[in-house]
Structure formats: C-alpha cells, structure tokens
Amino acid sequence: MSFFSLVTGRPGPSGFGSASTAEQVTEGIDASNLTALVTGGASGIGLETTRVLALHKARVIIAARNMDAANEAKQLVLKEDENARVDVLKLDLSSINSIREFAVNFNALDLPLNILINNAGIMFCPYQLSVDGIEMQFATNHLGHFLLTNLLLDKMKDTARTTGVEGRIVNLSSVAHMHTYKDGIQFNNINDKKRYSDKRAYGQSKLANILHAKELSRRFQEEGVNITANAVHPGLIMTNLFKHSAILMRTLKFFSFFLWKNVHQGAATTCYVALHPSLKGVTGKYYVDCNGLEPSAFARDEALARKLWDFSNKLITSVSKT
C-alpha cells in the first residue's frame, strides 16, 4: 500500500484499505461452522476481533491472562448478541507451564479448531525476563505463540482433515519488524541486558512472528496440510500496548494523527485474513490494510525462518528441563 492510500484510506486490490473496518471486510460471511481461538481477545483489537468473529456466528475462545477482563469481554459480546458462542480460558504467554496447561484445558473441551489468531503481545517494555528466564518481549510475542501453535497443530490438522474446511493461522506482526537488531534475530544474545533496546527487541519479536508464519506455511505445503499461515500488520492503534511509552506515543499521535486507526479499523486486516473467502489457499504472506505487502528482507529469508524454528524448539526444551 502506498503512503497516499494509507492516509486517504483508498482501497487496494482487495477492495479494502486502511479506513475499512472489521465488519466491512467480513460483510456477508457465514462463520457458523468455524471455531476460532484469539489470544489477547479480551481487549483492544483482540476484543474487536472476537466480537466480529462472534457476530458472524463463529464460536470463539478468548485466551487471556486476565480472567476478569476476559469475562467482561464475553459479557460485552453477549450483550450485543445473546446467542453468541464465546468461551474464556486462562493463558499467560510468557509462561511455558501456563501454555501447556492451556493446551490441556482446551483439548479437554473436545472442540474443533479452524482458526488460530495469535494476537496477544507486549510492546516497548523495560528489560525483564519471563518466569522461564527469557527476554520478555521475545518470550511473550514469539516464543509463547510458537509453543501454543505447536501444541494445537494436531487439533487443527484433525479438524481440517475431518471437516474438509481450510484451517487458518494468523500471526499479528507489525511494520516494526523492520526495526530490529543488526542480524535480525539475536540468537546468541536473546537475554543480553547490555545490548537491550526496547524498540529493537519489539521489532525482533515482530520479525519472528512473520518468520514463524512463513515456516509454518512451508511445512504445511510440504505435508499437504489444508491449513494456511499468514502474518498481518494491524496498523497504528492506541491501545494498552503503549502503556510503557504512553507520553511518547501520544505526542507522536498528535503529529501523525492521519496515520492512526480506531480499533474497528485495526482489527480489519486480522478478520479479513482469518475469514475472507478470497484468501482460500493463500499462505506465507504478509498483509497490511487487507492487502498483501512485501515485508523486509529478513522477513523473506527462508533460511532465517528455519533457523528460528530450530532455535525456538531448542530454547523451549532447555528451559523445560530446568
């Protein structure tokens, strides 16, 4: 998408643009036969994604760390449609034990799983380690979703096979994936406090989200699995993600107000990639404003994607043994 299209909201090849809302890009779609899981579905664009999926009759599971917020979100959706099918489950993506427990609890529900939206994330936080001793932004934004996805893959594959309905995985990335460390991913220095930059660490985690989707897509195609994996940039939306740099972001928003979206617009690309029939069979792509866009050179690097996959598995194994 060009800068002109971004500012004006002019539609791209898909027929949608930066001004399109999640309801507009999914108009007329019947999702009553679908079950979707949305991480971080209790607030911000995650909540709007949950609301719109439920509006189209999908069954939605909100995976969230704050159960009070998740239950409030559920009630908001039910207030709009008392017949909406929404469930909540506790998930802390910064904790490997929590992710494993979540997977056990989800599988115990004996539900199909058609759509996995890896939406939750943190942004620009001061240096800290997760409970497993991993830099927090990498642990939450990438590694948590990597493990969660792997633990749910058998369920998604089984659902796609038995129903004949294409499964879809959507990773929320960011244009910030272009602002990362020198080598893209600091494989040898993930926890290096001296080299830590809150902005570059965030960019690193968002680059990892795209690479994760890319490698998932390659593996699905190699296996002949009826599941797609894509990454999206939702746009600039003032949500709780900015709590660690609220003053800076409000100042930035004042001078670049024409670039910012509301949550209805911010959830549009996620919902478009998750539901729109025109994307059937489309995989391994990066979407901005509901249109495909070429990401950075690092994000297109297949060797880097494979290296990240192996690194992530080894990292999870190493901390699981401690």
Residues ≥6 apart with Cβ < 8 Å to 233: 173, 174, 175, 269, 286, 287, 288, 293
Q: What Å distances lie between residue 244 and 63, 124, 126, 200, 223, CA to CA?
A: 23, 6, 8, 15, 42
Q: Is the torsion defined by CA of 193, 199, 203, 206 positive or negative?
A: positive
Given a contact cutoff of 8 angstroms between Cβ atoms, the answer to whether 238 and 257 are in contact is no
Q: Give the 3-state secondary structure of 158-173.
A: HHHHHHCCCEEEEEEC
Out of 127, 196, 286, 287, which one is annotated catalytic? 196
Strand partners, 229: 169
Distance from the first to the final alpha carbon of the chain:
46
Q: Burial level of 90, CB count in 10 A (0-12/13-18/19+)?
A: middle
Given a contact cutoff of 8 angstroms between Cβ atoms, the answer to whether 74 and 82 are in contact is no
Residue 196 falls in the annotated catalytic set: yes
C-alpha to C-alpha distance for 267 and 48, rounded to whole angstroms: 6
Active-site residue set: 196
